Amino acid sequence: MKKNDQISALILAGGRGSRMGHVDKGLQPFRGTTMVQHVLERLAPQVGSIAINANQNLDAYAAFGMPVWPDETTGFAGPLAGLEAGLRHCATPWLVTAPCDSPFVPLDLAARLFEALQSQGADIALAVTQEAGMRKQPHPVFCLVKTSLLPVLSQYLLEGGRKMDGWYADLKVAEVLFEDSDAFRNINTLDELHSLDTARAPRLKDVVSCLSDYDPDALPVRHAQKIIGDFITPIRSVEKVALRSALDRVLAADIISPINVPAHDNSAMDGYALRGADLQADGPTTLKVISTVFAGRPNDAAPAAGECVRIMTGGVMPAGCDSVIPQEHVAAISDTEITIDAGAIRTGDNRRFAGEDLKAGSPALRKGKIIRPADLGLLASLGIAEVPVQRRLRVAFFSTGDELRSIGEPLDAGCVYDSNRYTLYGMLTRLGCDIIDMGIVRDDPQALEDALRNACENADAIVTSGGVSVGAADYTREIMAKLGDVTFWKIGMRPGRPLAFGKINSNGNSAFLFGLPGNPVAVMVSFYFFARNALLTMMGAEAPLPLLRVKSSGAIRKKSGRTEYQRGILSVDANGQQQVAITGSQGSGILRSMSEANCMVVLHDEMGNVNAGDMVDVMLFEGLV
C-alpha cells in the first residue's frame, strides 16, 4: 500500500480502561510489545504522520516518539473528544483514526477509506464489515475524516452529543466493506488480551506437567480430555444478530430482562375474576357480573363486594380481584349473575402474577447458552430484537491417505472411498461451525505442510483424519510437529488409540489441531469424546455431554484398564424399561454398525465384563449436537 502524506493518523488511547480494571489499554503488553505499538506499526506505512490521543500516562505515550494530544472537551467524553483534539491539531487535510486496542488494524485502512471518500465525494469514510448472512457492522472508530469538519464535531460535543456514530448524521458518509472482521476486533478485557497473547499462552508441556503420571503412550481418556480442556482457549469475537439468526448460536452475554413477564397480573383461565373474601365457606356464593375483560383490552372495572368480572385468559386482573373461577366450574350462570358452590376454588387460584415468569432486571439467559427454540421465544417475550452471539468457529478439515478416493473417481485396486470427509462434515455442521472442507491430502510432506498452513491461516481449528498412527507412509505426524506445539498420544481406548493434539502456527496465525485416527468409526468416537467439547469451549458454549444410565440387555466383554466405546441400540423392553444392546461387529472400520446404532455405550477404564442386567452409561446420538 502506498503511503499517503496528506493523511495523518490518530490513535485513540484516551479511555480510562474501566473494563480492563482501570489499566491503560494502550500500554498493556501484547505479543512482545505494547498494544499501542502494534497499532503504530500497522499505521506507520500508511500515513504521513501519527499522533496519539491519551488522557493519562502522557509520558509513557510520549516515549513512542509521537505527539500526544489529550482531550480538550473535559470529563473523558469518549472517543469523539479524542477525534476533536486530533482534528484541532492535525496539519493535513485528512485524519484517519484507529483505537489503541486494535492490534490487527488493516494495513490498507487509510488507502481504502481515502479512495472511497474521494470517489464518492464524501466528508467521512468508515470501515464496515459483514459476516455471511449478518447485518453490516459499522466501525466508526476506524474512520477517515476531512480535517475541515472540526466545527461540526465541536458543535455536536458542545450540545452534549457523545455517540461515535451520531455526529456525522448530516454529513455524507462513504462506507467501505472490509473482508476480515477480525482485523477490527478490539480487545476489551484483560482476559481477552491474555487469551490472544500467544506469548502468554500455555505450552502443552506446561499443561501436561500438571499430571503426575503422564505417559503419552498410555494415556487414560480422562487425562487426554483434561489436557485438551486446559489447553484450549475460547475465541472472543462477538456479533449482534437478528433474533431468528440467533438459533443454535452461542449467547455471548447474559440477557437481563428489561421488563416483567407477564407485565401485569392476569387470568390463567377463561372465567370470572373475583375477590376471594367474597367466597362463602359453607354455602353457594352469588356474585353480580359487572363487566367483561378481554386479553389485551384492560378496562377500569373495579368490582365492589359481591361483584365479579367476566375475564378471558390473559386478561388483566381487575382492581381488587385476586382469584379467577374457570367458567366450567361455575354452578349457574345468567347474563347478570353467577353462582359458585362452596369449595369450587380457593383464593388466589388461576391468577398469574406480574413478573412471575421473569422479573425486570433478573437474568433471563446466561452467557454460553446455545440458543434453542424456547430461548428464541423467551427473547421475543422480552421484546429483544437483536442478540449478542459468539462469532461462528471456523474449522478446516481434511482426510489424509494415498489410498483414499473421492466420490466420482474410479475405485482403484486397494483403494477406499473417503468417508471421513462426510462424517466430519456432518458432525461439524451440526455443531454449528463454519466449515472449510479441504478434501483429500496425499501422504506427501509438501502437500501436508501446504494444507496445514493453509488451514491454519484460515481457521480457528483444524481436524484431520488418518496418518497419526505409526504407519510407514504417514508423514502427518512429522509435519504437524514441525509446525507447532503438537503432541501424539496413544490413548487407552477402543476404538481410536492414536490422537494428535496441539496448536500449530503459520505466518503469525495459529489454530488448534485435532489429528484424529483414520478408521471411520475411530474418527467419530474421537470427535465426539475429544474434539466436540474442545470446539464447544472454543465457541464459548457450555454444553457438557450428557450420559444416561440404562440396563444392558446382554453381557458385554470388556477389558479393564481402557475405555471402550461400543455401538449400541437403545430400546424399550417388555416392561417399558429402557435397555441397551450392543450392535453386532464392533470393528473400528465398520461404519455400518455405527449407522445402525442409536447410541454409544461408554465402558469406563475401571470396568471389566458387563453382565446382562448391569447398568451402563450411554450417549445418545440424537440431540447430541
**CA 273 to CA 309: how far, in whole Å?**
5
407 binds, among ligand AMP, Mg ion, none (CB under 5 to 8 A by kind): none
545 binds ligand AMP (CB under 6 A): no
- Report in angstroms how near the CB of residue 189 gets to ligand AMP at its nearest: 41
User: 178: Cβ–Cβ under 8 A, 6 or more apart, which residues?
Assistant: 106, 109, 112, 127, 128, 129, 184
Q: Exposed, middle or buried: residue 145 (CB in 10 Å: 0-12, 13-18, 19+)?
A: buried
Closer residue to Mg ion (CB): 466 or 568: 466
Helices marked H in 66-203 — which ranges?
79-89, 109-119, 150-158, 190-196
Query: Which 382-401 positions form the footprint of ligand AMP (CB under 6 A)?
Result: 399, 401
Query: Which 567-596 positions form the footprint of ligand AMP (CB under 6 A)?
Result: none
Total binding residues for ligand AMP by CB under 6 A? Answer: 19
519 binds ligand AMP (CB under 6 A): yes
403 binds ligand AMP (CB under 6 A): yes
Closer residue to Mg ion (CB): 378 or 499: 499
Closer residue to ligand AMP (CB): 14 or 517: 517
Side by side, the strands of the sheet bearing 124-129 are 47-54, 4-13, 94-99, 137-146, 124-129, 173-178
Q: Enumerate helices (H) and strands (E) in the chain, giving the number of each.
A: 15, 34
24 binds, among Mg ion, ligand AMP, none (CB under 5 to 8 A by kind): none
- Report in angstroms how near the CB of residue 564 gets to ligand AMP at its nearest: 19
Q: Exposed, middle or buried: residue 422 (CB in 10 Å: 0-12, 13-18, 19+)?
A: middle
Contact residue for ligand AMP among 419, 454, 505, 510 (CB under 6 A): 419
**CA 107 to CA 116: how far, in whole Å?**
16
For Mg ion, the nearest residue by Cβ is 401
Q: Exposed, middle or buried: residue 324 (CB in 10 Å: 0-12, 13-18, 19+)?
A: buried
Q: Which stretch binds ligand AMP (CB under 6 A): 100-108, 514-522, 540-548, 553-561?
A: 514-522
- Report in angstroms how near the CB of residue 485 gets to ligand AMP at its nearest: 22
Contact residue for ligand AMP among 24, 84, 123, 418 (CB under 6 A): 418
DSSP tag of 556: B
DSSP tag of 618: E
Closer residue to ligand AMP (CB): 115 or 403: 403
**CA 248 to CA 625: how far, in whole Å?**
10
E-strand ranges in 429-562 read 434-441, 461-465, 484-494, 498-506, 509-516, 548-552
- Report in angstroms how near the CB of residue 473 gets to ligand AMP at its nearest: 9
Closer residue to Mg ion (CB): 115 or 403: 403
Question: 69-99 burial string, b = 16+ CB within 10 Å, else e?
Answer: bbbebeeebbbbbbbbbbbebbebebbbbbb
Cα separations in angstroms, 461 against 305, 457, 471 = 70, 10, 25
In the chain, how long is the greatest CA-to-CA distance?
Answer: 95
Closer residue to Mg ion (CB): 140 or 466: 466
- Report in angstroms how near the CB of residue 214 gets to ligand AMP at its nearest: 24
E-strand ranges in 507-612 read 509-516, 548-552, 563-572, 578-582, 599-603
Cα separations in angstroms, 624 against 287, 347, 529, 545 = 55, 45, 11, 8
520 binds ligand AMP (CB under 6 A): yes
- Report in angstroms how near the CB of residue 527 gets to ligand AMP at its nearest: 13
Binding mask 454-493 for ligand AMP (x = CB under 6 A): -----------xxx-x-x--x-------------------
Contact residue for ligand AMP among 220, 234, 495, 518 (CB under 6 A): 518
- Report in angstroms how near the CB of residue 216 gets to ligand AMP at its nearest: 17
- Report in angstroms how near the CB of residue 526 gets to ligand AMP at its nearest: 11
469 binds, among ligand AMP, Mg ion, none (CB under 5 to 8 A by kind): ligand AMP
237 binds ligand AMP (CB under 6 A): no
Instruction: Give the distance, in angstroms, between the CA of residue 243 and the centroid of all CA atoms in the same chain.
Output: 14
Query: Which 153-182 positions form the footprint of ligand AMP (CB under 6 A)?
Result: none
82 binds ligand AMP (CB under 6 A): no
- Report in angstroms how near the CB of residue 439 gets to ligand AMP at its nearest: 10
- Report in angstroms how near the CB of residue 440 gets to ligand AMP at its nearest: 7
Closer residue to Mg ion (CB): 78 or 466: 466
**CA 317 to CA 368: how far, in whole Å?**
37
Cα separations in angstroms, 556 against 315, 362, 551, 559, 586 = 59, 49, 12, 10, 11
- Report in angstroms how near the CB of residue 617 gets to ligand AMP at its nearest: 27
Cell matching residue 406: 473421492
Residues that bind Mg ion (CB under 5 A): 401, 466-467, 518
The residue to which cell 440424537 is assigned: 622
Closer residue to ligand AMP (CB): 167 or 527: 527
Residue numbers at the binding site for ligand AMP (CB under 6 A): 399, 401, 403-404, 416, 418-421, 465-467, 469, 471, 474, 517-520
